[in-house]
């Protein structure tokens, strides 16, 4: 189960990187890279806390850990990536 969650998280980050590469302008590229790095950092901190490698500071795992405001923010970030990806052919 944990491997499936990590695989889905990796796939989400991979698709965000593809959206950054296929963007037609710098703003879309930087926005996608910002959201991907934010999700990767948040995930790395949470996984490090669960494994006991880092001190517990209360960072939720995106889309899985309970946190209303964090869930809304992550959903908005993924929506931004989807918007960048969807506008790759627009002039």
| pLDDT tens for each residue of 37-71 | 999 999 999 999 999 999 998 889 898 888 789 99
For residue 91, tell me if it sits in a domain.
Answer: no
For residue 40, tell me if it sits in a domain.
Answer: yes
Q: Per-residue pLDDT for 87 more than 90?
A: no
For residue 56, tell me if it sits in a domain.
Answer: yes
The 3-class secondary structure across the chain, one letter per residue, is: CHHHHHHHHHHHHHHHHHHHHCCCCHHHHHHHHHHHHHHHHHHHHHHHHHHCCCCCCCCCCCCCCCCHHHHHHHHHHHHHHHHHHHCCCCC
For residue 22, tell me if it sits in a domain.
Answer: yes
Number of domains, the chain: 1
Instruction: Quote the pLDDT of residue 91.
Output: 61
For residue 32, tell me if it sits in a domain.
Answer: yes
Instruction: Quote the pLDDT of residue 38.
Output: 96
Encoded tokens for 51: 């494994």
Contact call for residues 35 and 20 (beta carbons, < 8 A): no
Domain range for 27 is 2-86
For residue 47, tell me if it sits in a domain.
Answer: yes
By mean pLDDT, which of 19-23, 39-43, 87-91 is the weakest?
A: 87-91
Q: Per-residue pLDDT for 90 more than 80?
A: no
Instruction: Quote the pLDDT of residue 4.
Output: 95
Instruction: Quote the pLDDT of residue 66.
Output: 81
What is the value of pTM for the model shown? 0.88
Instruction: Quote the pLDDT of residue 19.
Output: 93
């Amino acid at each position: 189960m944990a491997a499936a969650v990590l695989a889905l998280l990796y796939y989400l980050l991979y698709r965000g990187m593809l959206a950054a590469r296929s963007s037609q302008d710098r703003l879309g590229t930087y926005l996608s890279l910002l959201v991907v790095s934010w999700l990767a950092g948040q995930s790395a901190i949470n996984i490090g806390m669960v494994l006991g490698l880092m001190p517990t500071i209360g960072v939720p795992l995106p889309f899985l850990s309970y946190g209303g405001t964090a869930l809304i923010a992550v959903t908005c970030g993924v929506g931004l990536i989807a918007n960048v990806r969807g506008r790759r052919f627009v002039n």
